[in-house]
Amino acid sequence: MTERLRRLHVIKNATRQGVVIPFNQSSLTELKNDIADELRMNRVNFLFNPHGCEIIDFDLIRDDDVLIASASQHFEKPGKKKPAETAMYTLLKEVLKMALKMLIDTVRGPLLAQIASA
């Protein structure tokens, strides 16, 4: 029976963009360079596990691990919506819905009166 190829699941920080890469590197620096190439990043300075802990020792990485690659020291969970953006979007959407409803009510009254008199 042949041995399965070792691999890593790598995700770009604060996104859902990810790839599966072979895990055949011999150092953390080599791994960061390979990840930067695969994710089309200028550089990878930090690797995190999915819980946000920085990986600083190559020996801690195991086959089939999920790693988050980042150019900065700031960790964000992959694809997580930012609460402030979500709340602002919801508020704006509700205000626009109310304004549109008021506009329709304003235009509909005279328009219905005009149709009724014709």
**DSSP line for 13-32:** TTSS-EEEEE---SSHHHHH
- Same domain for 65 and 87: no
1 domain-assigned: no
- Sequence-distant (≥ 6) Cβ neighbours of residue 98 within 8 angstroms: none
Mind listing the pLDDT tens digit for each residue in 55-66?
999 999 999 999
Q: Could you list the residue range(s) of the whole structural domain that residue 108 is in?
A: 81-118
Say whether both 12 and 61 belong to one domain: yes
Question: Are 94 and 54 part of one and the same domain?
Answer: no
Q: Are 41 and 90 members of one domain?
A: no
pLDDT in tens, 4-61: 789 999 999 988 889 999 999 999 999 999 999 999 999 999 999 999 999 999 999 9
Count of domains in the chain? 2
